Structure 1
Amino acid sequence: MEKWHYLLTFQYLGFRYHGWQKQPQVKTVQFMLDRTIEFILGHSNFKTLGSSRTDSMVSAMKTACTITVKEDIDPEWLFSKLNENLPADIKALKLERVGKDFQVINHAKLKTYYYLFSNEKKAYPFAAPFMCNIVEDLDIELMKEGAKIFEGHHHFKAYCYKPTPGKVFNREIMHSRIEENELLQANFFPDKTFLYTVKGEGFMRHQIRLMMGALFRLGRGEKTLEDIQNSLKEQAECIGFVAPASGLILGDLKFK
């Protein structure tokens, strides 16, 4: 039976979701998307497949999934119906037909992640869905130096949570920098916030949150720049912690 394949590019605020992938008894982004498509089409004879998984409370400014159906659907019509019916924290950005050979996971090439954080003595409650707040004093300039150490080809075993057998730890980080946040602004944000930007072709489970956790420990004076460098050796142990998920945003996704 002939099938039609569509690539949906979309964004979402992940604070109330348990990640992308469907799971029993919890609300996920895929569950909400599938429920919306089922309402629009009037049946459940379709399949969605995401380009990657995200953790609970992680957001995405741009991510993608494929929708496979057994009927030819006008992309403009479906795109319009999605934005009419999706919840307010999920928005379709683009919908297009793709060939049957398109693989949304394997064709994903370059990913950009952002991690938003502040350094205030008291957290700002309305900012909680968007950023992490660290109450201890942070040496931001030292953290900027530490972030640059991750750039290039390194062994990232110390930055993978519960690795599976055969996991490839040698990976390349193309960009790893901390700067003052000018990407997202709101009047309920603290006066000064910071943005950690990381770019690469693929990341392991909790990798960026573990890297951010190591940089937080560096900023608090618990670790040194040498510790960061040594953590990228083959026999290194984890020196960070898994930073809170609500600061992490999948910022961009490019395909081959």
Structure 2
Amino acid sequence: MNNYKLTIQYDGGRYKGWQRLGDSENTVQGKIEHALSVLTGGPVEIIGSSRTDAGVHALAQVANFKISDSLPETKIMNFLNHYLPPDISVKEVQLVDDRFHARYNAKDKTYIYKIWNEAYSHPFMRKYSMHVAKKLDIESMRQAAQHFIGEHDFTAYSNAKSKKKDSVRTIYSLDIEETADGFIQLRVSGNGFLYNMVRKIVGTLIDVGLGDIRPEDIPAIINSKERSQTGGMADASGLYLEKIHF
């Protein structure tokens, strides 16, 4: 079998997330698998590194698939980019070792989140960021962010639909910056994330920035393991899977 690694970008706005669903082909995985089945003449299953939620975007999602035929990497890439809808692009195709597994071999993942923090909306980025009209206290948000770093049981930041039995994850960094184009950007890296975890963390930090939660309250919220303590959840539109390390 030949094992191919894909690096993929997509606008998740009109999809029900990455993972193929039994009752819908309106997923990123489903679209790519269908294109590959047309190319190869048979069913192809791809494995993604991250199961991004509905509406979430990706700058560098990684996936792999195995087929018996040996096809040139350029042929696969050119076919996919011709066949796929314009909101999904394949940046790179690589023939890799048979043991490579996009999900199990991922060591850490980085997400970014964009907030537009002005009284008026951003007409061109309204589908790719979250609008918060009231000015945020960024320094308080940075203080709060430090409490998320390290190994914690993130049950409070999981979703009731999550099937993960182990809620312990390690966050390596969580940085907040004001970008040159006027956005507040949060970048979080960790060894893995629970369903909706990043959006819930960002939602808590927004509540801190609005003065509804104090930075020093974060450890107690995490330790409570109560989902009701975390406050709001940030919109899917502002979240991007930025990179994955193997």
Same fold (TM over 0.5): yes
- The one-letter amino acid paired with 1:77 is K
In structure 2, do the counterparts of structure 1 residues 165 and 7 end up closer, same or farther at CA, with 3 Å as the change threshold?
A: closer
CA contact (8 A) 2:47 2:101 kept: no
In structure 2, C-alpha distance between the alignment counterparts of 1:11 and 1:166, rounded to whole Å? 26
CA contact (8 A) 1:5 1:98 kept: yes
- Figure out how many residues of one structure are paired with residues of the other and give that number: 244
Moved more, 205-214 or 30-39: 30-39
In structure 2, do the counterparts of structure 1 residues 83 and 120 end up closer, same or farther at CA, with 3 Å as the change threshold?
A: same
CA contact (8 A) 1:45 1:70 kept: no
- Give 1:8's aligned residue: 6
In structure 1, C-alpha distance between the alignment counterparts of 2:89 and 2:134, rounded to whole Å? 36
CA contact (8 A) 1:46 1:70 kept: no
In structure 2, C-alpha distance between the alignment counterparts of 1:93 and 1:162, rounded to whole Å? 34
**Residues 174-210 of structure 1: per-residue CA shift (max 9 Å, x gap):** 010110125xxxxxxxx52110000011011111100
- Give 2:84's aligned residue: 86
- Give 1:51's aligned residue: 49
- 1:205 matched to 2:195? The reply is yes
Question: How far apart are 1:170 and its partner, in Å?
Answer: 2.6
Alignment of 1:119-158 (within 5 A): 119-158=117-156
Percent identity for Structure 1 against Structure 2: 32
**Residues 200-227 of structure 1: per-residue CA shift (max 9 Å, x gap):** 1101111110001101111111111121
**What TM-score do the two structures reach when normalised by structure 2?**
0.91
Moved more, 228-237 or 101-110: 228-237
Question: How far apart are 1:144 and its partner, in Å?
Answer: 1.8
1:212 aligned counterpart, secondary structure: helix
1:252 aligned counterpart, secondary structure: strand
Question: How far apart are 1:251 and its partner, in Å?
Answer: 0.3
CA contact (8 A) 2:113 2:186 kept: yes
1:9 aligned counterpart, secondary structure: strand
Question: How far apart are 1:164 and its partner, in Å?
Answer: 5.1
Which of 211, 221, 232 is equivalent to 1:241? 232
In structure 2, C-alpha distance between the alignment counterparts of 1:117 and 1:133, rounded to whole Å? 6
Gapped regions of structure 2 (runs ≥ 5): none
- 1:32 matched to 2:23? The reply is no
1:231 aligned counterpart, secondary structure: helix
User: CA RMSD of the aligned region, Å?
Assistant: 1.9
- Which structure shows the bigger proportion of residues in helix conformation? 2
Gapped regions of structure 1 (runs ≥ 5): 183-190
CA contact (8 A) 2:140 2:208 kept: yes
In structure 2, do the counterparts of structure 1 residues 165 and 29 end up closer, same or farther at CA, with 3 Å as the change threshold?
A: closer
